[in-house]
Chain A
Amino acid sequence: DTAVSQTPKYLVTQMGNDKSIKCEQNLGHDTMYWYKQDSKKFLKIMFSYNNKELIINETVPNRFSPKSPDKAHLNLHINSLELGDSAVYFCASSPFRTGANEKLFFGSGTQLSVL
């Protein structure tokens, strides 16, 4: 079984549309994240949730709204898509909110292309 799974793997859409990316982890972790990797391959944290509670929001436009129905899921909804939103979005999870042994486990990514 895939530990951190996100769907879809590829998403092609028009500017102005609204889309969602889903993420699920079966590792029993408390904390989940969304990262964005742009065309220059820079990997930047967007959000972090711990037990369904938002703990990090890194100045992401409010068109991006994460939703955590339970601690195993963290979905990303994007309104009014713009060309600059084209990127690869990675979901990740970790077992502890804090701790020296915290490790991130990443999904395989969703490549979003806005036309």
Chain B
Amino acid sequence: DAKTTQPPSMDCAEGRAANLPCNHSTISGNEYVYWYRQIHSQGPQYIIHGLKNNETNEMASLIITEDRKSSTLILPHATLRDTAVYYCIVREHTGNQFYFGTGTSLTVIP
């Protein structure tokens, strides 16, 4: 099942960077780190994923530590619409399952 640990909740001021941590100390060499988010009453939405290099796209940046035991999702300029539950998932690239943990509930404050 879920192999990640995330803080249950976080607050962030609007316009500031939101840094969401995730621990995955048992990650293996062929497992990727994925981030999804779920805005209230909607289905989860893909944000970003990576293996060992840092990744950036139009939504966020993903910073993975050198030992790959933890990562941080960065939303550079949080807006009120970023209020959601953020899920960190580790998954083998040949696996079929995405196991969601309990996630971090991020609240962006005006």
Contacts and interface: CB of A to CB of B under 8 A. Distances in A.
A92 B93 contact: no
Contacts of B41: 108-109
- Classify the secondary structure of B's interface with A: loop
A43 B32 CA distance: 19
A45 B95 contact: no
B43 A92 contact: yes
A107 interface: yes
- Range of interface residues on chain B? 20 to 34
Interface of B: 32, 36, 38, 41-46, 49, 51, 85, 87, 93-100, 102-103
Interface in A70-114: 90, 92, 97-100, 102-109
B88 to A, nearest CB: 13
